[in-house]
Structure 1
Amino acid sequence: MRLIAAFAATAAVALLAPGAAAASSSPVHVATEHGRFTAYAPGAHAVTYRPDLVPAGARAHVFSLSASHAGTTTMLVVTGLRPGRAYGAHAHAQPCDATGDAAGPHFQHAPDPVKPSVDPAYANPRNEIWLDFSTDRLGSGFARSAVDWTFADRRAKSVVIHETHTHTDAGHAGTAGARLACLDVDF
């Protein structure tokens, strides 16, 4: 939590520095969300689908800052996950629901016309928000994504934690195994 607060303060200072506001043609958009993962229930906004890998009670915090002159920077901090393990995470197009599939595909700035998207020209960390991380011995992890675009009419609606780090090879680009947990985020 302190890490996100420190990032927020630093990012805000950079974005609001003299001259930054003049360079911006649109307002700064901040999205922040935190949640404690639980089994799915109607209205839940932090859901674990695999409590063996994302235990009930584990937490996630997302902070995202967008401005036309700076792009979008997103941070993910997790606690209470399995120690010493690699996870993937991405911004997804739909909110969380009863199954991980309900969150839809990864949000892509330039949408791939072919679904599912596994073409590295579209499924990459410049066109999507990738937040892969590894947990430390206490089960905490941190990830940061910076892209040069901002959200317009279409916005991501959740962050999904996946089973593995994200693949980048053709035919598998953007895949990261099973969907383990989901946090609704109002990007």
Structure 2
Amino acid sequence: MKIDRIHHVAYRCKDAKETVEWYVKHLNMDFVLAIAEDQVPSTKAPDPYMHVFLDAGQGNVLAFFELPNAPAMGRDANTPEWVQHIAFKIGSLDMLEATKERLQAAGVEVLGPTDHTIFKSIYFFDPNGHRLELCADVGTPRMHKDLDEVKWDMLNEWAQTKRAPKHAAWMHDREFKALD
């Protein structure tokens, strides 16, 4: 068996309508489906919910559940805020900058662009507190080839030492970036 693609990823939201409207307005996603039930189909637990689905491009679907009878949303206090996030690929650096300006004009606090060598990103939060990232690819074929060649060595070293391997330290070398 080989996975075809992600069917959908689902997160919790505070307010389904507000969430849909925010993603439509700020990320230009299409609202594609709503499902509401009084009982969870998989567990049969009596727990009413609204489940909404948004088109995240190329068959990718981002979904949210509003759970009115559940305790207030929280997050894992043991995981740093920057770790759990949803990253979306966009078409260009110009689009990244324009989106940043548009988000800021709408009152959304935006961090970045951050240079990750093979892509540049901006970061911000949706109305539910989910961290979002927009990425514009800038990597060269050589960069991707070099990273591909060391991925297993890096992972194996990390598994043994729990220290950041230096196989791809070139990603932070300004002189290398200028040459590539």
TM above 0.5, yes or no, is no
Name which one, 1 or 2, has greater alpha-carbon Rg. Answer: 2
TM-score (norm 1): 0.27
